[in-house]
Amino acid sequence: MIDDTSNGYEAVADAFVAARSGSTTGLAIIRQWAASLPAGGTVIDIGCGSGEPVTAALLDAGLTVSALDASPALVEAFRRRFPDVEVACEPAERSRFFGRRFDGAVAVGLMFLLPEHAQRTLIGNVAGALKPGGRFLFTAPRQVCAWDDVLTGRRSASLGAEEYVRILDEAGLHLVAEHVDEGENHYFEARKRAARSG
């Protein structure tokens, strides 16, 4: 059996694209976050899906976007929609993020799909891919909980705010804000500490 690194989303790619296309849920938060980044700054959209609506909003904000997703079908849909945006088909927790550093990283609807160890790995890797002062925005329920994903039926799990803050801190990131959108999705916004001198 082939290992499905897309956490079940390859099999439901069409349904996912249909659900996200035209969605405006969370866009106000994405736009506000995008405005906090340097003008024309670089952002990596982790778990980009087809690019709607997050990548589209980041591009509209004048940012330079790179993207990745583990589902070949979703990456193909992304390429059709955004042919000029670089995108890689690979699992987020194994990505080298194009071997570059970014002003920002965003992961909407992804973190809780991963096993606990992969969530920890991803946060550490994102920290390494951010420039000093870079910002990371991701969604996960604030409470510790587990549930079955609506589209895939697979188990999802949130480590909870206290644990996410601890993992962020260990990775050199500090929580600067939390947000809740109109769909009651919870966002953690963190910033990478500046490099210490001396």
* Residue 198 pLDDT greater than 60, yes or no: no
Tokens of 194: 């500046």
Which DSSP string do the residues of the chain spell out, in sequence order? ----TTTTTTTTHHHHHHHHTT--TTHHHHHHHHHTSPTT-EEEEET-TT-TTHHHHHHHTT-EEEEEES-HHHHHHHHHH-TTSEEEES-GGG--GGG--EEEEEESS-GGGS-HHHHHHHHHHHHHHEEEEEEEEEE--SS-EEEE-TTT--EEEE--HHHHHHHHHHTTEEEEEEEE-TT--EEEEEEEPPPPP-
List of domains in the chain: 13-192 (3.40.50.150)
Choose the weakest-confidence range: 7-11, 75-79, 174-178: 7-11
Q: Check: CB of residue 65 under 8 Å from CB of residue 85.
A: yes
Q: What is the pTM of this model?
A: 0.90
Question: Alpha-carbon torsion 64, 68, 74, 75, what sign?
Answer: positive
Using one digit for the tens of pLDDT, what is the confidence trace for 100-121?
999 999 999 899 999 999 999 9
* Residue 152 pLDDT greater than 70, yes or no: no
Binning pLDDT at 50, 70 and 90, where does residue 26 land? confident
Binning pLDDT at 50, 70 and 90, where does residue 167 land? very high
- Rounded to an integer, the average pLDDT of 1-15 is 58
Binning pLDDT at 50, 70 and 90, where does residue 165 land? very high
* Residue 134 pLDDT greater than 50, yes or no: yes
* Residue 2 pLDDT greater than 50, yes or no: no
